[in-house]
Amino acid sequence: MDHERKIMMCLVLAVICSSVLGQEWTADVVKSIDALVGSCVVLPCTVSHPGTYLSTSRLRGIWHRKDKSNEIFYHEDSTQILDSFKGRTRLLGNLGQNNCTLEIVQVKDHDNGPFCFRIELVRKDTNQPTTEKYSFVEKCADVTMIHDKPQLKLGPIKTATQGKPYTLTCSVHHTCPSHFPQIKWSRERKDDDITEVHKHIHSGVWEAESILSFVPEEKDDESELTCTATFNGGIKSEAKFTLNVKRQQNYNHIIIPAVAVTATAVIFGLFCVLMVKKYKKRIQELQSQDGSMWNRMSRLSRRIRPGASGPTRSDQRRSIWSRFSRRPQRNEHDLSPNNANSCGGQKINKPHFPSPKSQQKSNNYKQDLDDNDDYMNTADLNIYGNV
């Protein structure tokens, strides 16, 4: 009975071990990837197994050549590694967390692989490998060597405006996330804002991005901005951009004079209003006075009203002269030579007009002005009889 029980126990353990250590172990490795010669490259890898958790101490990861498993690129025992790869490879991941990612630094032309992953189970006490070994040669990584420097991408390329925030982005793709490229700007002032972003694109390809934000000034017009990316191994690549700054429209030369003219007009208008209110009563008194300047101008306007028929210039001269040479009308008898100075033997004297200087001045200046105006009007009416 005891022997049968031992056989049953062995069968149960064999079933359990076969479920854990069977062919259900899988690995996912990037199929192809680019590597910059002289820099570094990271080969993404994940491994999975059925059953319970296995600690890292129970697992051993190995990278080897596809067709030659004895040519090892990585091993925890460095003596097992090919001389051309010694000190240049390491596991970035934790096997206990199903991460088998490999890093290769100082990439050389012959580091093209293919790179395949193998996992082994080891004993806890002796750390010696068991017979359980799984090599995933059907999923290996091919590496393409890149000798040209990666091209940086600048954008968006647009004209900046003076005094307004401006943003410029510099980005580059790479395959070494363990050593991100260092991106620097030729313009790094105290007020500038620089933000770095790193994101995974696909299949081990990453993008490093630097965002520069600043407020351009007039002196920045036609200035050159340079973005420089330094990769692992000291390899540098740069991109240049000429910044065009549009000057902000300044309307001070229009606004200031307009405001000054408007303010002057308002002040002058207020001054006029105040003066009218202050002297309104006085103006009304002057307008109500008879014979005032307003009345004189009114009579003068009626006298020279446009379109009214009146005497010609020669008639006006004759009428003015007739005022000073007012002689009585003579008939044909008076025009005879015998009656030139006598009438029936009597001598006729010319009428004598007193001199204006001999007349006594009147104290009523206003009345004199009105009389003079009436006399002028009468003379104007009689100008045609004096010719």
Say whether 153-246 and 24-146 share the same fold: yes
Nearest to 185 by CA among 155, 226, 234: 226
Strands 32-36 and 142-146: parallel
pLDDT tier at 112, thresholds 50, 70, 90: confident
Phi-psi region of 302 (alpha: psi -120 to 50; beta: other; left: phi over 0): alpha
CA dihedral (198, 199, 201, 204) positive or negative? positive
Fold of 24-146: Immunoglobulin-like (2.60.40)
For position 109, what pLDDT does the model report? 92
Q: How many residues does the chain have?
A: 387
Q: Which amino acid is at 17?
A: C
343 pLDDT more than 60: no
Q: Half-sphere exposure (CA, 13 Å, Cβ side) for 333?
A: 3
pLDDT score for 337: 45
Q: What is the reported pLDDT for 82?
A: 95
Residue 169 pLDDT level (bands cut at 50, 70, 90):
very high
115 confidence band (pLDDT: 50, 70, 90): very high
Average pLDDT over residues 297-301: 62
**pLDDT at residue 284, rounded to an integer:** 72
Under the banding of pLDDT at 50, 70 and 90, the label for residue 19 is very low
CATH homologous superfamily, domain 153-246: Immunoglobulins (2.60.40.10)
Q: What is the pLDDT of residue 240?
A: 93
Contact 140, 115 (CB under 8 A): yes
> Rounded to the nearest 5 degrees, what angle is found at the Cα of 140, between the Cα atoms of 137 and 142?
145
Is the pTM of the predicted complex or chain greater than 0.75?
A: no
The answer to whether 328 and 334 have CB atoms below 8 angstroms apart is no
Is residue 122 within 8 Å of 128, Cβ to Cβ? yes
249 pLDDT tier (thresholds 50, 70, 90):
low
Task: Give the domain ranges of the chain.
Answer: 24-146, 153-246, 251-279
